[in-house]
Amino acid sequence: MQDDDELIEATLRGDSAAFGALVRKYQDRLITALRSVSGSSEEAEDIAQEAFVQAYLKLPAFAGESAFYTWLYRIAFNGAISRRRKQRSTGSVDERREASGAEPRDEGESAPERVLRQERARLIQQAVAELPEEFRTVLVLREMEGCDYDTIAQILELPIGTVRSRLHRARLQLKEILAAVLGE
């Protein structure tokens, strides 16, 4: 298991296997983050692929001023935003999610608890998707990526104070949405 710098150097020397190792290292993390931004796993994978390809092409210009993943995420995040703007007129997040088939499968189990849990997860996921973009991104980076404020600020190119403020407002809004849909 090599570190990022070694893999980047090897990639720049033409070792595509080293780039493959970089992809494997970050693919799940990136797709998880993008899924909450894009609304479906399939779309998240497509955006992630585009981001990795762009990163591969731009790697000679990567100065290493930030961590590789931070740089990669910024590319992916911009790609997701761009894609989202293009798709805005083509359907809601819910419609895309339903079309993706990414919902938890109901395998016909009769246990009421299971059904309730699945429904709850679906509602939470839906509530996150309903947040305004600027709130959803900071929330995903914090709660699902585990990024600290400084990293979020780097990725989104925002002042830390803005990150803190948006994160708080995102949580309040998510709380309100969940209170409405869950009745809690």
Query: What is the contact surface with other proteins in residues (CB under 8 A)?
Result: 1, 3, 16-17, 19-21, 23-29, 31-32, 35, 41-46, 48-49, 52-53, 56-57, 102-105, 107, 109, 113-114, 116-118, 120-125, 128, 139, 142-144, 146, 148-149, 164-165, 167-169, 171, 174-175, 178
- Smaller CB separation from other proteins, 74 or 171: 171
For 33-43, give one letter per residue: b (16+ CB within 10 A) or e.
bbbbbbbbbeb
Backbone angles phi, psi at 90, to 5 degrees: -95, -5
Torsion from C-alpha of 119, 120, 123, 129, nearest 10 degrees: -120
Beta carbons of 102 and 40 less than 8 angstroms apart? yes
Q: How far is the CB of 175 from other proteins (least distance, A)?
A: 6
Distance CA 125, CA 94 (A): 10
Q: How far is the CB of 81 from other proteins (least distance, A)?
A: 18
Q: How far is the CB of 134 from other proteins (least distance, A)?
A: 15
- Smaller CB separation from other proteins, 41 or 66: 41
Q: How far is the CB of 20 from other proteins (least distance, A)?
A: 5
Q: Which two tokens stand for residue 184?
A: 């809690």
Distance CA 82, CA 38 (A): 11
**Coil, strand, or helix at residue 159?**
coil
Beta carbons of 4 and 19 less than 8 angstroms apart? no
- Smaller CB separation from other proteins, 85 or 120: 120
- Smaller CB separation from other proteins, 146 or 183: 146
- Smaller CB separation from other proteins, 84 or 169: 169
Distance CA 71, CA 96 (A): 28
Q: How far is the CB of 69 from other proteins (least distance, A)?
A: 10
